[in-house]
């Protein structure tokens, strides 16, 4: 690739357009991944619990066979799971959840398709959630900002992937209060691999960032559980902060957590005043990671007086 072509393809304008398309795909990920995960959990429950006679005997300290009703339940659930239509991130094609109308190509154009339809399904006129174009537009803007921040170099695509993963995790966590291992762990390993090849930060900083990110929230989790007798956060938060540490380095862990805690406290107070809705900690961690990425380590450490470290 010539330098001139690279300047064009990795410019904020082009990556911004790419972000719009990726944002459309993220809407699919956010909607379908929780359903796919829950299907897998049910299948595991049936095969590993209801259908595993030896496990049943070990757990309940019995030597006889499980009750007949349990086996019948396992068979019935297996039959229902097998009858479910195929679902992954590609199949089936996008369609209206109300009437099943399959979206045509021009209805799937990011943001523009929503505006052209007037925010309603072309077939049944059911309103389409505003969240879809918001995610598309936000992804496009963040991709463009990433290109501007990182520069027209190939590693900008990796940072765009970082942004996309955080957006997907944010909305999945809001919807079902879970940060999927399918997103947190690949993000962490990608950060470590990029550091190993010298494309982001020094490998030592990335490695300690991943270790420190996980262990810090793991320690807080157990301290809270032992003192209060209940869980204060989920394991996904540990893994997300480990991933952020792998990308941003150990020095940025405290600023990320501080930013997430401050925003979380403010939003939490507002949400409690206006409604009973609860937003988990994951979105705040993701937001803190994005803010620290754009501000940059040098500026953040200078603000904290740690520039000499």
Q: Long-range pairs for 257-261 at CB < 8 Å and ≥24 separation?
A: 257/216, 257/285, 257/288, 258/288, 259/284, 259/287, 259/288, 259/291, 259/292, 260/284, 260/285, 260/287, 260/288
Please, are residues 199 and 155 in contact by the beta-carbon 8 Å criterion?
Answer: yes
List strand residue ranges (DSSP E) for the chain, in order.
none
Residue 287's pLDDT is 93
Model pLDDT for residues 5-60, shown as the tens digit of each residue: 888 899 999 999 999 999 999 999 999 999 999 999 999 999 988 888 898 899 99
0.95 exceeded by pTM: no
Distances from the Cα of 180 to the Cα of 55, 138, 191, 192, 217, angstroms:
27, 21, 17, 19, 17
Q: What tokens does 56 get? A: 């049943």
Residue 214's pLDDT is 96
Residue 262's pLDDT is 87
Please, are residues 50 and 70 in contact by the beta-carbon 8 Å criterion?
Answer: yes
Residue 106's pLDDT is 84
- Closest alpha carbon to 159 in 19, 49, 266: 19
Residues with Cβ within 8 Å of residue 238, at least 6 apart in sequence: 213, 214, 217, 218, 221
What CA–CA distance (Å, rounded) separates 155 from 159?
A: 7
Which stretches of the chain score pLDDT less than 50?
A: none
């Amino acid at each position: 690739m010539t330098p001139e072509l690279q300047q064009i393809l990795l410019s904020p304008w082009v990556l911004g357009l790419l972000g719009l398309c990726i944002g459309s795909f993220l809407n699919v990920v956010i909607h379908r991944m929780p359903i796919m995960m829950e299907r897998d959990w049910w299948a595991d429950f049936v095969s590993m619990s209801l259908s595993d006679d030896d496990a049943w005997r070990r757990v309940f300290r019995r030597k006889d066979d499980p009750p007949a009703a349990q086996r019948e339940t396992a068979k019935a659930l297996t039959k229902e799971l097998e009858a479910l239509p195929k679902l992954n991130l590609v199949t089936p094609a996008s369609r209206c959840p109300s009437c099943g109308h399959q979206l045509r190509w021009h209805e799937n154009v990011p943001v523009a398709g929503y505006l052209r339809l007037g925010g309603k399904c072309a077939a049944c006129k059911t309103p389409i959630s505003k969240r879809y174009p918001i995610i598309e537009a936000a992804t496009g803007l963040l991709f463009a900002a990433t290109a501007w921040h990182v520069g027209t170099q190939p590693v900008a695509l990796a940072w765009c992937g970082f942004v996309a993963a955080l957006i997907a995790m944010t909305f999945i966590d809001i919807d079902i209060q879970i940060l999927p291992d399918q997103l947190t762990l690949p993000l962490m390993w990608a950060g470590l691999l990029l550091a190993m090849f010298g494309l982001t930060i020094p490998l030592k900083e990335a490695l300690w960032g991943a270790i420190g990110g996980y262990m810090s929230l793991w320690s807080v989790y157990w301290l809270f559980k032992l003192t209060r007798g209940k869980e204060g956060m989920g394991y996904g938060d540990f893994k997300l902060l480990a991933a952020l540490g792998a990308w941003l380095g150990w020095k940025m862990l405290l600023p990320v957590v501080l930013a997430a805690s401050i925003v979380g406290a403010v939003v939490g107070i507002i949400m409690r005043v206006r409604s009973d809705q609860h937003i988990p900690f994951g979105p705040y961690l993701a937001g803190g990671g994005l803010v620290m990425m754009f501000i940059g380590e040098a500026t953040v450490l200078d603000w904290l007086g740690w520039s000499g470290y």
